[in-house]
Amino acid sequence: MEKAKIQWGMTIDLDLCIGCQACTLACKQENNISFVSQKQAKMGRIIEWNQVIHTVKGEVPYTKLRFLPRLCNHCEQPACTKVCPVGATYKNPEGLVAQIYTRCIGCRFCTVACPYTARYFNWYTPEWPEEMKKSLNPDVYVRTKGVAEKCTFCSQRIRAAKDKAKDEERELRDGDVVPACVEICPTKARLFGNLADSESRVAKLSRSPRAFRLLAHLGTQPKVIYLSERAWNESE
Amino acid sequence: MSQNNEFPSDDSALIDPILKTGRWYYISVACLFCIVAWGIFSWGYQIRNGLGVTGMNRPIFWGIYIANFVFFIGISHAGTLISAILRVTGAEWRKPVTRCAEAITVFALVVGPINVIIDLGRVDRMMNILPFVKWGRFQSPLLWDVCCITAYLIGSVTFLYLPLIPDIAMLRDKINKRRWLYKTLALGWTGSPRQKKVLETLMSIMTILIIPVAVSVHTVVAWVFAMTIQPMWHSTIFGPYFVIGAIFSGIASLIIAMAILRKALHLEEYLKPIHFNYLGVLLLTMCLLWFYFTFAEYLTTFYGAEPEHMEVFYAKLGGEFTPFFIVMIVTCFIIPFIFLAPRKLRTITGTVIASISINIGMWLERFLIIAPTLSRPRLDYGGHGIYHPTWVEISIFAGEIATLCLLYFIFIKIFPIISIWELKKHDKEEEITVKEKPAEALS
């Protein structure tokens, strides 16, 4: 089999992450993610394609606070696409785990199967405050109630970057595609690029001794690679 | 000892329910109908507003709808075991019991899969799961469910219908009601030797065929969970564990149905204490098997002690699900064991108490398989999933139970619930074999 030319991937440097959650907000804005009331959020109905998980370990005063931005890992061996009864989620040739909202029947098998709980469900019809409605991103589909959704690696930006490169009659360059979360990160903890190109910045970082993948023992082979001096979930 | 083969020669008690309808029947049907209507209203409310009206959330994406699905599919295993296995082994005492059981199978199989449809976020796109014509993919365990349940439904309708034919023909000749219906369904049955031979051949084929189909149904229901990699779902024991659980709750449902029919239709001459005793012994066997499987499952998890699995384990034994777990052990094992093990307590009352207890416990068992695992995702984000079912979910559950009862009530008005011709068919050969059956030794 011919080796894929493009395999999109992301690196997140946990040693640089300050837990500001700007990525979560940028993602919400970019991808038309709906708002939920505080009551609904408490019930667990909040949608955050990018979620910053913070863990506090240890006893006061020796506590350690760690941040872990969690998004869809776009696994090489996804647990979610396997179980979808209608092929509404699938792995595309560029390694993205994509979701066809118009085909999804809302059985939530994928949301249950994902070991990272990275998938979300539209319990109600998505809603925005009146003043926010004008800022909806025209490049991103607005979901209906009853379908699953998750991070797409800003596939609309990938498409736009490809179009631009085509207009300028050149190949896609490293750094052409910048997802919203990568763009906004104040400490430049995130990078996005082509893992199949061994010279790209993400590929280089993925070979770093600091690199690890989330729940790697499950064999899902995530394409989101974390960098950290210490284990993110050290127990002491 | 062939007391269970002695039935009244006059079978008016079996035909009476079809001819005469009492006041209580109308009252119960009206009540059931109201509950069903309320359930349908709740479903409509849910479709209109979205699944947000339930208590489900992230990470507890599946709630009591899926528990109900497994529960009703479990009940549907009543018919197969009693009819098919007892037919295969030639246990003659099964004769007055089989049709009650087969009818439960068919109606539970109608109600069960509806839960999955109710659980869909986009019911309008339900048909997307059709393979070939739409996007259905056999790779997904949900498609396995669709195939196996469809096969089982067709099989069990056939299995119920075939031995009904001679009785329908009898009704066609004897009574004046609904002649067009009986005439059509009797398929011109005259009881000629050739017809009898064909019927018997078909029954033998169906009896053998239905057993693997039934086993496959509950196995693939289990595999919906076991095929994922979630803690305490990803287990090889799940297939057989679910099959045992299904037969367990199936027999329990049968005993409850039989006790009600016996009282309501005055079938004391047909459904005798000995039938409850035999079924009680079967129930006890399943009870012990269920306990063995549960014990094996929990001990393996505990001894292996993988942290992510232990999170789920301690949610059930020491966490917020503990009260349910204790009730499950009491209702699925302790109460049934007390009432089923001693011969003295294995009476009609005793088996009915055990059966009601088992059905409560087995529903909890299904709930305890689904919710705790989902409440403890592998990536701990600083809290646990909390799930409180809402009035919508509870109303729909009530509506489903009422639907099952209503279908059963309608069935007994149209067809005799006890196979009349099979009771009469009683040749010498059978008399001899009955004495050799191990079941006889139990009485």
Question: How close is the nearest chain A Cα to the Cα of B408, in Å?
Answer: 30
Beta carbons of B109 and B121 less than 8 angstroms apart: no
Question: How close is the nearest chain B Cα to the Cα of A148, in Å?
Answer: 9
The stretches of B89-236 forming alpha helices (DSSP H) are 98-119, 141-161, 165-174, 179-186, 193-226
Chain length of chain A:
236
pLDDT 10s digits, A94-126: 999 999 999 999 999 999 999 999 999 999 999
Give the residue numbers spanning the domain of A118: 8-227
pLDDT 10s digits, B185-205: 989 888 889 999 999 999 989
Average pLDDT over residues A28-46: 92
- Residue A180, domain CATH: 3.30.70.20
Q: Is the predicted pLDDT of residue B432 greater than 50, yes or no?
A: no
Q: Report the pLDDT value the prediction gives residue B381, as an integer from 0 to 100.
A: 67
Q: Domain-by-domain residue ranges, chain B?
A: 3-442
Nearest alpha carbon to residue B240 among B268, B220, B265: B220
Q: Report the pLDDT value the prediction gives residue A235, as an integer from 0 to 100.
A: 46
Mean pLDDT (chain B) is 89
pLDDT 10s digits, B287-337: 999 999 999 999 999 999 998 999 999 999 999 999 999 999 999 999 999
Query: What is the helix (H) or strand (E) element at residue A65, kind and residue range?
Result: strand A64-70
Residue A75, Ramachandran bin (φ over 0: left; ψ between -120 and 50: alpha; else beta): beta
What's the CA gap between A230 and A210, in Å, rounded? 8
Q: Report the pLDDT value the prediction gives residue A55, as an integer from 0 to 100.
A: 84
What's the CA gap between A34 and A141, in Å, rounded? 12
Q: Is the predicted pLDDT of residue B281 greater than 60, yes or no?
A: yes
Placement of tokens 């809290």 in the chain: B383
Q: Report the pLDDT value the prediction gives residue B427, as an integer from 0 to 100.
A: 47
Residue A3 in domain: no
Tell me the chain A residues in contact with residue B389 when contact means C-beta distances shorter than 8 Å.
none
Percent of chain B with pLDDT over 90: 67
Q: Is the predicted pLDDT of residue A81 greater than 70, yes or no?
A: yes
Question: How close is the nearest chain A Cα to the Cα of B120, in Å?
Answer: 5
Q: Report the pLDDT value the prediction gives residue A236, as an integer from 0 to 100.
A: 38
Q: Report the pLDDT value the prediction gives residue A230, as an integer from 0 to 100.
A: 80
Q: Report the pLDDT value the prediction gives residue A110, as an integer from 0 to 100.
A: 95
Beta carbons of B372 and B232 less than 8 angstroms apart: yes
Average pLDDT over residues B233-256: 94
Tell me the chain A residues in contact with residue B129 when contact means C-beta distances shorter than 8 Å.
85-86, 105
- The DSSP string of B372-430 is HHHHS-SS--SS-------HHHHHHHHHHHHHHHHHHHHHHHHS-SS-HHHHH---HHH
pLDDT 10s digits, B75-106: 998 877 778 888 888 888 888 888 999 999 99
Instruction: Indicate the CATH number for domain B3-442.
Output: 1.20.1630.10
Average pLDDT over residues A126-130: 90
Q: Is the predicted pLDDT of residue B428 greater than 60, yes or no?
A: no
Tell me the chain A residues in contact with residue B146 when contact means C-beta distances shorter than 8 Å.
85
Of residues A45, A107, A145, nearest to B119 (C-beta): A107
pLDDT band at B429 (very low <50, low <70, confident <90, very high): very low
Q: Is the predicted pLDDT of residue A234 greater than 60, yes or no?
A: no
Global pTM value: 0.92
Beta carbons of A76 and A94 less than 8 angstroms apart: no
Q: Is the predicted pLDDT of residue A212 greater than 80, yes or no?
A: yes
Q: Report the pLDDT value the prediction gives residue B84, as an integer from 0 to 100.
A: 86
Tally Cβ neighbours within 10 Å of residue A83.
23
Q: Which of A135-139, B87-91, B136-140 has the lowest mean pLDDT?
A: B87-91
**Residues in chain A whose beta carbon is closer than 8 A to a beta carbon of chain B?**
40, 43-46, 51, 53-55, 70, 79, 82-88, 103-109, 111-113, 115-117, 120-125, 144-148, 214-215, 218
Question: How close is the nearest chain B Cα to the Cα of A72, in Å?
Answer: 13
* Number of folded domains that form chain A: 1
